[in-house]
Structure 1
Amino acid sequence: MIVLEFKAKGKTTQYAAIDSAIRATQFVRNKAIRHWMDNRGVGQKELYRLSKTLREEFSFVKALNSSACQAAIERAYSAIARVHDNCKKSIPGKKGYPRFQKNCRSVEYKTSGWSLSETCKQITFTDKKGIGKLKLKGTWDLNFYQLEQIKRVRLVHRADGYYVQFLIRTENEVQDVQPTGKNIGLDVGLKEFYTDSNGHTEPNPKFYRIGEKRLKFRQRRVSRKNIGSANRKRAINKLGRVHLKISRQREEHAKRVARCVIQSNDLVAYEDLRIRNLVKNHCLAKSINDAGWYQFRKWLEYFGVKFGKITVAVNPAYTSQECSSCGTLIKKSLSTRTHVCQCGFVLDRDWNAAINILKLALSTTGHVGTWVIDPNASGDLASTLVGVILSKQAESLSEESPHF
């Protein structure tokens, strides 16, 4: 499944109709969550029947396409199912109890409620919300795909306008990828974006830190406007555009670096970090979020499947404390940047950790090309092979702070 995104061009009345459809989607989802809270144990079929009741009771819900109402119910049920799954798996901490949405930004249609023009440059929404025909601005060619391959169409509202996303079912693997014969371990950090087992470092771009001055300027502009005024809405929109630019920069950087790493190696090992736990450190939370480790890991896994490469997530516990030469544990604070062992081995702290990460991954997967994982291998590890999305780490939490 791939997602192709286009910028939507229309009139002001059409944009208002899209906002109305988004609010209706949010209403249906929140009603489904409330129904589940009041009637514990109801399943997805009961929630589907609830959407029919809501369509009969509220005219603004009836104006929305029935498939969009079903998609809203599915959003609610996925949030409910997540709680049950987390409880069954005994995941520590909060279980992700469903919350009511206050600022929904998208509406999703299935295979009905929309139609593409012959040139695939325009899309028409046929429900009674009045969205009508929208022009699609983008470089993707939808003519390359069959209409039956488009499983969902999503309208998204962002600070810089409205977008149309097409979810297309297709094979996304690259064929005839030549092996490189190289394996690599990655240790992410704040001083450097990552340090690999070969000693190469990727600089940390720090997009949020660079744009922080501009953000503060826009935030002051928002605070000076009267609440509820049109000027305040415009100021909020300009602030949102700055945030959107920073998030896009971070995402594109993670995508570019991850693609280069995957294409250059046959096996990539990285840390299975608990980002949610790490950001509890208020002194480092801003820098950790700015680094974008989650986006980097997500794109590593995606390109690993696409190019048929092995990606392995290992437990980061003691990877920076253990000597990669003799295996002795050398305790050190985060301010100690050089690993000095009693055996005479001296190396940069992050480089030493990257070597240990690679060793742990190889001890789990064996040599490249072996798809059988030894269940008795030492260490609390998890791995991803070709065509398999990385599952959550098995048992233990991260026992060590990130390497900076």
Structure 2
Amino acid sequence: MLVYEFKLSGTQQQYRLIDEAIRTALFVRNSCVRYWMDNAKIGKYDLSALCKALSKEFLFANKLNSMARQASAERAWSSISRFHENCKKKIKGKKGYPKFKRRGNSVEYKTSGWAFSEDRKHLALTDGHNIGIMKLVGTYDLHYYQVEQIKRVRLVRRADGYYAQFLIKAERNIDTTPTGKTIGLDVGLNHFYTDSNGGQIETPRFLRKSEKSIKKLQKRVSRKFSKTRKRLTPVGSPDHGSETRQQEKIKQSNNYLKAKNKLSRKHLKVSRQRKDHAVKLARCVVASNDVVVYEDLRVANMVKNHKLAKSISDASWYQFRVWIEYFGRIFGRTTIAVAPQYTSQDCSNCGKRVQKTLSTRTHKCPHCGYTADRDENAAINILKKGIATTGHVGSSELDSVNAWGDLSSTGNDVNQSQQDRSLNQESPDFLVKTSDSKA
């Protein structure tokens, strides 16, 4: 499956109507979660029936397209089924109990509620919100695909504008020749990764480089924020028979909203830099090696160390792994994830265990005298583990991780002829191509 992304150009009224549709979709999703909490043995089809009941009970819910309501119910069921699976697998710690979402950033339409113009450069949203026709800003040609191939359309709100994503039923595969090379990767904080050949890639540290400007923007937001005030409800009011005090939020100024948007845009830029770095680097690694072996790290557990959490998040190891597995399928390469235990402690030459602290950056084996960089020694051990065992090839998490828009691509690696050949080949993956040249 392919996902093409375009930026939407419209009026402020149309943007407000999109926000209304997003709020309605969030209401349907939260209502489904509440219905599941209050009733036992609720299934997926019960949530779909609830969508119809909500459309009859609430007028604003009836404005949203019926298939868009079903897509919101599917989101709720996705979190519910994930919780059930975690309970069955007896995963340690929190099981991911479904929660209510306070904010939503997207709404999904299936095969109805939208239409193309004749030139396919405009998108018309035809449900009860009457959003109307909006221009698609991008470089990709949607004439190449039939309308029947577009299975879903998603409207996404970001800090720099609104986007439309099209899920297209088409496969992608890239013909490559074997290189005869294998490589092991050890990710770190001093270097983004060190491979088994001794090569190292520096950590970009996008957040650290932008931290000064982010703090400056955050101070502006804090200065322009107005705190809540208390008001005294008069005696004999229709709401309260006695004198009580209530909290009343003050509407924030336009200057506050502008400062907040600038801060959001800065964070969005950092996240896009991380993605771009991970995509390009993962593609180069997979394209130049037949077998790629890496550590099966649990990054969610590692960021619990508050001294290293910011640096680990800034390195975006998990995103790099996701893209390695994705390009492994596209290029037909083998990607193997191995257990990370003792890869830094064991000697890659003799196999003896040499205990060392995290601050020790050089591996010196007292048994065989082998000396090497700590990360290079670990990368060699990772490669040996992957070759000696089958390991964990690929990751099933890739199928469930943000197939819609969190996976982004530079779009520089596929030309139109390759897209043409990919239609007759099988590939279960999703590709997001950002077609906004202004972003």
Report the TM-score when normalising by structure 1: 0.91
Distance 1:124 1:324 in 2: 61
The aligned counterpart of 1:103 is: 103
* 2:206 corresponds to 1:202: no
The aligned counterpart of 1:137 is: 137
What residue identity is the alignment partner of 1:164?
A
- Secondary structure in 1 aligned to 2:36? helix
* 2:351 corresponds to 1:327: yes
Runs of 4+ more than 3 Å apart = 388-392
**What is the CA deviation profile of residues 142-197 of structure 1, one whole-angstrom value per residue up to 9, with x for unaligned ones?**
1111111111000000000000000111111113x100000000000000000000
* 2:282 corresponds to 1:283: no
Distance 1:117 1:356 in 2: 56
- Secondary structure in 2 aligned to 1:344? coil
What residue identity is the alignment partner of 1:290?
D
Unaligned segments of structure 2, at least 5 residues: 227-251, 401-439
The aligned counterpart of 1:36 is: 36
Deviation at 1:389, TM superposition (A): 6.8
What residue identity is the alignment partner of 2:188?
G
What residue identity is the alignment partner of 1:205?
P
Contact 1:384/1:391, CA 8 A, preserved across alignment: no
- Secondary structure in 2 aligned to 1:359? helix
The aligned counterpart of 2:188 is: 189
- Secondary structure in 2 aligned to 1:29? helix
* 2:371 corresponds to 1:346: yes
Distance 2:140 2:309 in 1: 37
Distance 2:5 2:149 in 1: 15
Deviation at 1:114, TM superposition (A): 0.3
> Greater RCO between the two (CA within 8 Å, min separation 6)?
2
Contact 2:290/2:334, CA 8 A, preserved across alignment: yes
Distance 2:323 2:40 in 1: 37
Distance 2:90 2:173 in 1: 34
Contact 1:382/1:391, CA 8 A, preserved across alignment: no
Contact 1:5/1:164, CA 8 A, preserved across alignment: yes
**What is the CA deviation profile of residues 100-150 of structure 1, one whole-angstrom value per residue up to 9, with x for unaligned ones?**
111100000001000011211111000010211010001111111111111
**What is the CA deviation profile of residues 57-95 of structure 1, one whole-angstrom value per residue up to 9, with x for unaligned ones?**
111110000010000000000000000111111222211
What residue identity is the alignment partner of 2:394?
T
Deviation at 1:226, TM superposition (A): 3.3
Contact 2:186/2:376, CA 8 A, preserved across alignment: yes
- Percent of residue pairs identical: 58
Larger radius of gyration: 2
Distance 1:346 1:333 in 2: 16
- Secondary structure in 2 aligned to 1:262? helix
Deviation at 1:391, TM superposition (A): 9.3
Distance 1:250 1:235 in 2: 23
The aligned counterpart of 1:116 is: 116
Deviation at 1:384, TM superposition (A): 2.8
The aligned counterpart of 2:127 is: 127
Contact 2:364/2:370, CA 8 A, preserved across alignment: yes
What residue identity is the alignment partner of 2:179?
T
Deviation at 1:390, TM superposition (A): 6.5
Distance 1:32 1:363 in 2: 48
Distance 1:40 1:149 in 2: 38
Distance 1:46 1:215 in 2: 45
- Secondary structure in 2 aligned to 1:257? helix
- Secondary structure in 1 aligned to 2:393? strand
**What is the CA deviation profile of residues 307-364 of structure 1, one whole-angstrom value per residue up to 9, with x for unaligned ones?**
0000000000000000000000101000000000021100000000000000010112
**What is the CA deviation profile of residues 181-236 of structure 1, one whole-angstrom value per residue up to 9, with x for unaligned ones?**
00000000000000000000011000000000010011000001133222111111
Unaligned segments of structure 1, at least 5 residues: 366-380, 393-404
Report the TM-score when normalising by structure 2: 0.84
What residue identity is the alignment partner of 1:123?
L
Task: Please give the residue correspondences for 1:317-396 in structure 2 after superposition, counting only pairs within 5 Å.
Answer: 317-342=341-366, 343-365=368-390, 381-384=391-394
* 2:227 corresponds to 1:217: no
The aligned counterpart of 2:19 is: 19
* 2:288 corresponds to 1:236: no
Contact 2:294/2:336, CA 8 A, preserved across alignment: yes
